[in-house]
Structure 1
Amino acid sequence: MIRFPKKKTEITTEVITNTIWVSSFLAMILSLPPLGLFLGIYFLTGDIIVGAVIGFGVHFLTLAFSSKISKFLTNIMS
């Protein structure tokens, strides 16, 4: 049987608030630009495939740099 130690860690409301703000901004940075590109290309050209490819490409490019973006946002927020 696995027994986990009963450690109680104190987390302040400032840390929780900071985590929520950084997570929210990171989610917006990762999702809104690719969505905007996808919809913009789709409505301007009418080609859903090109919009999807460019949108996914930008999404995965920002996802590759998400740790650096998160560290940057954490430094700004604290």
Structure 2
Amino acid sequence: MIKFPKKKQNISTETLINTIWVSTFLAMIFSIPPLAIFLGIYFGTGNLAVGAVLGFAMHFVILAFSGKISKFLTQILS
């Protein structure tokens, strides 16, 4: 039989607010630069495929460093 540990019931307000801010900043870092690259290439050259490929690639390059970015943001906001 599997016994699951009980969830923590006492989470401080400061920890919860910090988690929300870090998550919000991570979402902006992951989405805004690739979107800007995609839209910039699409509206600048009119080439949808190149914009999509470069935006997609930029998203995954940023995603590769998500652990380091998250630690950095957590240190700044703590």
Q: 1:65 to 1:5 in 2, by over 3 A?
A: closer
Supply the RMSD in Å over aligned alpha carbons: 1.4
Pair 1:33 & 2:33 matched: yes
Give % identity: 69
What TM-score do you get using the length of structure 2 for normalisation? Answer: 0.92
Q: Is there any run of 5+ residues in structure 2 with no aligned partner, and where?
A: none
Write the distance in 2 (CA, Å) between the matches of 1:60 and 1:66. 10
Q: Is there any run of 5+ residues in structure 1 with no aligned partner, and where?
A: none
Equivalent residues, number:
78
Write the distance in 2 (CA, Å) between the matches of 1:47 and 1:5. 52
Q: 1:6 to 1:51 in 2, by over 3 A?
A: closer
Aligned residue for 1:75, secondary structure, equals helix
